[in-house]
Chains A and B, each alone.
Chain A
């Protein structure tokens, strides 16, 4: 614990020295991170495979490709992001300099999650470094191989005092949260999100909370079901369902339910072959605790497909449940596993009401050929983000902010939004010491003539 305080104090002293502020330094650190990702690609993929049974190409496209993209974007755009932004002046300030300065916050904390353990540390880290901060990195202990790798690699490539890695579980994280930071970005669940925010409140530390929820997926009768189901299958079973923006459950008319099931079954065959367990592209549940939790959600449900499991390897087959009751356990918590419940809805109105009765989700999906219907669903619901006629994809558009609302979180990041999240926008007005005549209007003694002017 003392070591942790010492590490944070050292980061603060390093920040106060000012060396993380020049743009050249920040770009040099980002370039170093880029080298790390390129040189240690094999090790990173191996850690992801050990933690989540993620295959090479899968891990590369989910975790490495995105990181390289963010690095390239940040290095390219940093000079323009960090430049002082002049703003509109009023009559009284016509001859003055009026601008917004983007400044680092200080020492920030990034707490990662286990499901995309590399990218969920790297993407915020890129923004925090780009914004000129010192960063304490706390990877999730649940994905222990990636945590160990991050702890080994970052000091080899980055400034050791400015960007320390702290490892450990709940007691270490609790201790970490008693310390003062200038921003905390946490990715995880809502229950812990509340704990993080309460701890931050003691120091008036601003927070970005990337949480979760049940992301609904509405399938309209009027749509190309084969295409829709292929896209949904891709997003649902990727990473064995352990994706914060995975379509959690389906809402559709009872008349198309069995067609949806057939289409998903066909796609699963296409993706993973006859024996899913032996496909190198299908992941595993991260640990026994989550395995048991997800298997528990199947109790009393109509299993239209899948349901097979193997505790020893934390394998759960891609599973579809039909005619699910809104009151069942599987509809209460975020599934975070390869189980897809279908709840039947007689109309889009019913679906919208159903969605609005629940906590605001991180993502929302709607499939329809009818553009008006899609626009309606967007306008009459709320969610962190959404994609129409596909799943997950809004999270890879670099200029869209990625974050939750309500129970699914607060704040946003990705691309420029990461830079802004970790920056203070300081309002600046620089006046002339002369031209006092103009100021006389505002000084006492006050009079009606002055007011009328």
Chain B
């Protein structure tokens, strides 16, 4: 077991208790803030090398959003760490009943390549804030960022408590043989199953942030230019390599016709007449992924874009029209700059289409009629939902971010990350005196004692008329 030594070293640090004081956690978090500030340039460069990530995007997702999370955590940590006192029943009125937030111990964070800093750093913020020791496993596919993280993070964080492990599938498999106290995984559903199976051997709780095909329904009553812009922005951000990107569009035939020029207009507005020359459009991360995404182009007909350049791993912002549910682009999560449009007759058909498929990480619905948006929300299920825009719901630190069913289990962001990495321990601190009050619960049991117990323990219903 090649990682046994590392894990037991971290476990020894954990048992020493050094990660528990608030001052320690704050100091480590502030060091992470310095990492983001001082290594900003290196981060922008590494992500540019890895997938041609435009610096505007890299700054927004890898630096800005991370600093938001950091600041929310630093501002609120002392409050989050406090014992949460709870309501008591009659028999415990004079006692102290509270929930104590405790670190789990040694936790593992496995991150993917598409937002390679953000997707390990934001969980890491919560893990440190909650008082754990952490092993970070960045993705080997975004190799420049992996190298950056492996070399630089140790200059900022306490190396006895936080370590970076690099490597591919084999190394990750060996790493998962060890016992962790929590595992946080972001990636595909198939690897999610492998991670959870490995976790089951040690009864390790997990959070799995997975994916799926996020549908985007556009109703016939909508502001076409605004819809086009918001959809284009969400789809082509990071060249489509976003777990919450709108994966495919559902709309009527008329709307498909109306949208097409607006989509074309938005793409040109954003990326110019030749997106390959725009500094604001990314590239596919690797050759294997490039081949996979390119194969999906044989679906429906290419209405906009479709050009590719293998040397650069460039795929143009592409809209596919008249796509059939049986086409390649509708069989897997696209994770590339291709937006298929599937024509449906109406909203009901769109909702049935969505519900016939595995529950996605996000669902989008566009309409000027708020009733339509609410109908889609109420009649479907997904990790999260955004009406009349794409992606934006995950920029709010007050909303939980996570999947359901095949798109994942658990949630994070903001306080939810802190809670994810904390054990909520129910505590009751009773009085040693007043033993007479306990007498009714002791044997020998009598009907009279039972009557007394019932009176003191029971939760009474308030009048039913006030309920509905």
Contacts and interface: CB of A to CB of B under 8 A. Distances in A.
B55 to A, nearest CB: 7
Contacts of B331: none
A393 B459 contact: no
Interface string A400-435: 111101110111100000000000111111111110
Contacts of A24: 468
Contact of B404 (A87, A105, A197, A394): A105
Contact of A428 (B60, B226, B384, B432): B384
A230 interface: yes
A384 B428 CA distance: 12
Contact of B411 (A224, A272, A425): A425
A272 B270 CA distance: 82
A443 B229 contact: yes
Contacts of A65: 453-454, 457-458
A194 B227 contact: no
B87 A399 contact: yes
Chain B interface helix/strand/loop/mixed: mixed
A329 interface: no
Contacts of A450: 56
Contact of B432 (A55, A227, A407): A227
Contacts of B105: 406
A221 B115 CA distance: 56
A444 B280 contact: yes
A90 B395 contact: yes
Interface residues of B, number: 115
A434 B229 CA distance: 12
Interface in B266-288: 269-272, 278-281
Contact of A442 (B200, B233, B386, B449): B233
Interface of A: 16, 23-24, 27, 55-58, 60-61, 65-66, 68-70, 72-73, 75-76, 79, 87-90, 92-93, 97-98, 100-101, 103, 105-106, 182, 190, 193-194, 197-198, 200-202, 204-206, 209, 211, 223-224, 227-228, 230-231, 234, 270-273, 279-282, 356, 367, 369, 371, 374, 378, 380, 382-390, 393-403, 405-407, 409-412, 424-434, 436, 439, 442-447, 450-451
16 contacts: A72-B459, A197-B199, A198-B201, A204-B193, A204-B210, A223-B432, A271-B443, A281-B445, A393-B430, A399-B86, A399-B97, A400-B99, A427-B400, A428-B393, A431-B387, A433-B227
Interface of B: 15, 17, 54-57, 59-60, 86-89, 91-92, 97, 99-100, 102, 104-105, 181, 189, 192-193, 196-197, 199-201, 203, 205, 208, 210, 222-223, 225-227, 229-230, 233, 269-272, 278-281, 355, 366-368, 370, 373, 377, 381-389, 392-402, 404-406, 408-411, 423-433, 435, 438, 441-447, 449-450, 453-454, 457-462, 467-468
Given A97-B387, A230-B435, A406-B105, 16 more contacts: A24-B468, A61-B454, A72-B458, A200-B196, A201-B193, A234-B438, A279-B443, A279-B444, A387-B430, A394-B426, A398-B89, A409-B203, A411-B205, A412-B426, A439-B226, A447-B56
